[in-house]
Amino acid sequence: MIKDDTTLYQKALKKFGCRHQMILAIEELAELQVELAKVINGRTDVEALVTEIADVEIMLSQLIEMHHLQHAVAAEKLRKLQRLEKRLQED
Ligand SMILES: [Mg+2]
């Protein structure tokens, strides 16, 4: 059982290196793109979509960890969600 995701990400970054993990992030983003295109084209494979979303979330967390962006990303995400909420209220 994984108790601390951050520790796991730090171990992965130490073992494989930031460059390798950034390349892997690009690969995982591409795999999610393929699955989304399949969904749009009516070839939905929920299991594959779930897998690729999970892969991308894990890689995004590693990108945030390697660049020490936890607070900046959280603040930007909050700002964007507030903007979205405001736009939705205008409709
Ligand atoms: Mg994948």
* Residue 61 alpha carbon to ligand 1 centre in Å: 15
Q: What is the pLDDT at residue 3?
A: 72
* Residue 80 alpha carbon to ligand 1 centre in Å: 27
For residue 81, the domain's CATH number is: 1.10.287
Domain that holds residue 16: 5-90
Do 56 and 29 contact (CB within 8 A), yes or no?
A: yes
> Shortest CA distance to 59 belongs to which of 26, 17, 11?
26
- Indicate the length of the chain as a whole number: 91
Q: What is the pLDDT at residue 28?
A: 98
* Residue 86 alpha carbon to ligand 1 centre in Å: 34
Q: Please, what's the largest Cα pairwise distance for the chain? A: 49
- Rounded average pLDDT over 14-18: 97
> Shortest CA distance to 55 belongs to which of 75, 71, 35, 72?
35
Count of domains forming the chain: 1
Give pLDDT tens digits for 21-58.
999 999 999 999 999 999 999 998 999 999 999 999 99
